[in-house]
A and B are shown apart, each in its own frame.
Chain A
Amino acid sequence: MRPTAWMTNSPKPYESVLVANRGEIAVRILKAVRECGLRGIAIHNDLDRDGMHLEYADSVDHLRGEDLSSTYLSPEAIINSARRTGADAIHPGYGFLSERADFAKSVLESGLVWIGPPPEAIRLMGDKIRARESMIKAQVPVIPGRSISISDGEDPLPQLAAAAAEVGYPLLLKASAGGGGKGMRVVNEPKLLRTEYQAASREATAAFGNGTVYVESLLRGARHIEIQIFADSHGNVIHLNERDCSLQRRHQKVIEEAPSPAVDPELREKMGDAAIQAARAVNYEGAGTVEFLLSSQKEFYFLEMNTRLQVEHPVTELVTGLDLVHMQLMTAAGIELQLSQDEVSLSGHAMEARIYAEDPSTGFLPSIGPIARFDTPVGPGVRVDSGIRKGDEVTTSFDPMLAKIIVHAPDRNSAIQRLDHALSETILHGVKSNIEFCREILNTETFRGPGVTTDYLEGRPSTQSQNKTPPGLIEIIATAAEKFGLNKSTGTPLGNQDKHSGHEHDPFTTLAKRFP
C-alpha cells in the first residue's frame, strides 16, 4: 500500500513502525499502521513464535529468550530490534514498557520516533504523589489524602496516625509508584494501621522497587469514570468524552461503556475540562486517560493518569467515530489535531466485554489450554479485537486477557442487548473463560438499571449459571459425537492444522496445501 498523503507531507514523516507488544493490541496497532501504508514490524520471543500478531506484520523479529524481562520488557532488546529491522518509530501499546519514562527517553535518544507522550509527562504521572501535587496546583480535585515520609528503621505509627486523623477511616494505603492494585491496602480501624502499612510497603518494594506509600480517604459506592484526552504537539488538547469502567474485580476492569449512565452533559463538560487541565499541567502529547472516582453525590476526584492507549479505547472510538491509533500516528508525525472540541461527537452507546482465560467456578483462577475452537460474533455494530485464534495455546507466560467484544447501538438498553447476544455467539473451547459470567452481569437488575459502582463484584459469589439444558443432554451429545466419529472432523490434533485458516472449510486451506 502507498503511504497516506498526510504522512508524506507531515513535518516528521516516518515509514515503518515497530510494535513493542503482542496479543490483541499488537494486532490492532499493526492493522492501523498498514492501513496508513506504513511498514509494520512485529516482535516475539521464544514462547511466542506463532503469536497471532505476527500475521499482521510486514516483518517479524525474534527476541531471543523466554522470560519477559529479557524480551518484551527489555528496553535494550527492543531498541536493538528496531535498529536490526530498520524501524523508524516505536509504538509501545499498553502494559509492558508503555509507561516507562526511561524507555521513552532511550527511544528518542536513539533517533527513533516515539509514538507516545513525552518522557517527562510519563515520569510525573507515574509517581502518584507528584501527580497529586501537580493536580492540586492545576486545581483539579483530588481525593483527600496525605503523603508521609518514613525513613528506614523509623516507627511509622506516629506519622500514619496523624495522616489517618486527617483523612478519616476507612482509608487506603497506596504505593506511590503503584498501579494494578499492588501495594494497595484498605484499613478500616486504627489497630491495623501498622501491619497494613508494612504489607503495602513490602508489596510496593517487591513490585516497583519503591516502598513509598501515601494515605488516601477510601470512597465507597463510587464509580470509576475516566476521560479520554488527546493532545498534539501544537498545544491543542481535547477530550473525547468519558468511559464508565466501574465493573471491576480486584482492580481489573471487566465491562466498560460510553457514555456513563451517571454522567450528564453538564458533568461531562466539567470532568472533561478537569482532564484537559490535568493534561496541560504535564505538557501532555498523544492519547491519554485521566481517571476519576465519581461519588454518589456526583463529586469527582482525580485518581491517576494513564499515559498510554487503554485496553478499552474501542468504546470511545465507536461513540466518536474516531480512530485513536491513527490519531497517535499523526500526532507523532507532528501533525495538528484534525478536530476541535466542538467537533467531537457522542453518538449512541458503546459497550465492551473483556474475555479473560479464567475459570469462574474456581474463584477466577487463570486457566490454560489449547484454543480448540473460537467462534466470534459478526453483525451490525459488533466489533471483535482479538489476539487469539484456533490452534493457539493459552499458557501462564502471558496476559490472560484474550479478546474484547465491543458493540455499538443507539442507546444503552440496546447496547446491553446487543452485547449479550454477541457474547452468546462467542464460543471458546479448550480454555475456560468468563463469557457466561459477563452475560450474567449484563442481565442483573443493577447493571440494567442505574449501573454499578466499583465495589459491585466484591463479595459477589462467582455464581455458576444454572444448567438450563434437559438432564443428561450434554452426555447424550458427547456419546453421539463419539459414536458418529465427530472427533475425526472436529478434534484434529492441535498443531497439525493450518493456523492461518480461521475456518475449517476455508477454501484457501486446500490451496495452500496444494501449492506450499
Chain B
Amino acid sequence: MKWKSDNSDKVWSVRLLIEGEQASVAHLKCGDETIQSDVTITFDKQSGSIYVNDDGKKLNPKITKVGDSWWVTVSSQTFVVTEALHNSKSTTEDQGGLTAPMPGIVRQVNVDTGQKVRKGQPLMVLEAMKMEHQIIAPQAGKIEAIHYNEGDRVEMGSVLISIFE
C-alpha cells in the first residue's frame, strides 16, 4: 500500500508478508529508495489491537481510522498517514476523464487513440514528487484522445486521456 504523511511530501510504499496473526515487511520504499526493515507486527484478535516488535523493543501503537487517514500514536508522537492513490481515483471519476493527481511529467504512454481498453488497464505513467504514478482505466472503453505526449509537463487536474464508453 502507498501512504502519504501529513508533514512530508514523501510517499511510502509498503508490502507486508502476513502469516496468521504475524506480519513482517516484504517490501518498504520511500520514493525510489528501498529500505530494509526488520519490524514485525502482531495482531491481537482479542483486544483488536496491534503490537510492534522493533529489534526486541515492544511498542503498543494507538491507532484510529478517521476518514481515509490513519492516526497513529507511537512513542507518544502522533502522525497522520493517508493512502496515496485515493485522490486520483476520485478526481478521475468526477470529471469523466483521466486527470493528473498532482503536477508532474508524463513518462510513458501505453495506449493509442482508438484502442479498446479494459477496466484497470495501465494507460500512462506520470512522474510526480519523484515518484511514478500509474494512470489506470477507470472503466472499459475506447481511447478517444490522448492530450499529452511523453516528456510533457502537466498541471494538477489536467485531463490526460479521454475514454469513450
Chain A residues proximal to chain B, CB less than 8 Å: 361, 369-370, 372-373, 375, 424, 427-430, 435-436, 439, 464-465, 467-484, 486-487, 489-491
Contact = CB atoms under 8 A, between A and B. Distances in A.
B65 interface: yes
Nearest to A482: B1
B71 A372 contact: yes
Given A372-B66, A476-B41, A483-B23, A468 B77 contact: yes
Given A370-B66, A472-B30, A481 B75 contact: no
B164 interface: no
Interface string B41-71: 1010000111010100000011111100011
B71 A429 contact: yes
Contacts of B66: 369-370, 372, 429-430, 491
Nearest to B33: A471
A506 to B, nearest CB: 15
A481 B48 CA distance: 10
Given A470-B37, A475-B3, A480 B74 contact: no
B70 A481 contact: yes
Interface in B123-148: none
14 contacts: A370-B66, A372-B71, A427-B73, A427-B78, A469-B75, A470-B37, A471-B30, A473-B37, A474-B3, A475-B3, A476-B25, A478-B14, A482-B70, A486-B49
Contacts of A474: 3, 5, 72, 74, 79, 81
Contacts of A372: 64-66, 71
Contacts of B37: 470-473, 476
Contacts of A373: 62, 64, 71
Nearest to B48: A489
Contact of A436 (B35, B49, B77, B81): B77
B16 interface: yes
B28 A486 contact: no
Contacts of B110: none
A435 B71 CA distance: 15
Nearest to B50: A480
Interface residues of B, number: 42
Closest 4 CB pairs of A and B: A491-B65, A429-B71, A489-B48, A475-B12
Contact of A477 (B48, B63, B77, B78): B63
Given A375-B62, A427-B62, A477 B72 contact: yes
A484 B48 CA distance: 9
A420 to B, nearest CB: 9
Contacts of A491: 64-66
Contacts of B6: 361
B79 to A, nearest CB: 5
A427 B23 CA distance: 25
A489 B50 CA distance: 12
A476 B14 CA distance: 6
Contacts of B81: 474-475, 478
Contact of A469 (B30, B64, B77): B77
Contacts of A369: 66
Nearest to A490: B64
Interface in B1-40: 1, 3, 5-7, 12, 14-16, 18, 21, 23, 25, 28, 30, 35, 37, 39
A487 B3 CA distance: 16
Contacts of B70: 477-478, 481-482
A473 B74 contact: yes
A436 B73 CA distance: 11
A361 B3 CA distance: 19
B16 A476 contact: yes
A509 B1 CA distance: 35
Given A489-B48, A491-B65, A479 B71 contact: no
A399 B43 CA distance: 39
A483 B42 CA distance: 12
A479 B75 contact: no
B64 A472 contact: no
A479 B14 contact: yes
Contacts of B21: 484
Interface in B72-108: 72-79, 81
Q: Which interface residue of B50, B61, B63, B79 has the most chain A CB atoms within 10 A? A: B63
A471 to B, nearest CB: 6
A397 B16 CA distance: 43
Nearest to A478: B70
Q: Which interface residue of A375, A436, A467, A481 has the most chain B CB atoms within 10 A? A: A481
A470 B64 contact: no
Contact of B28 (A375, A427, A430, A472): A472
A480 B54 contact: no
A473 B52 contact: yes
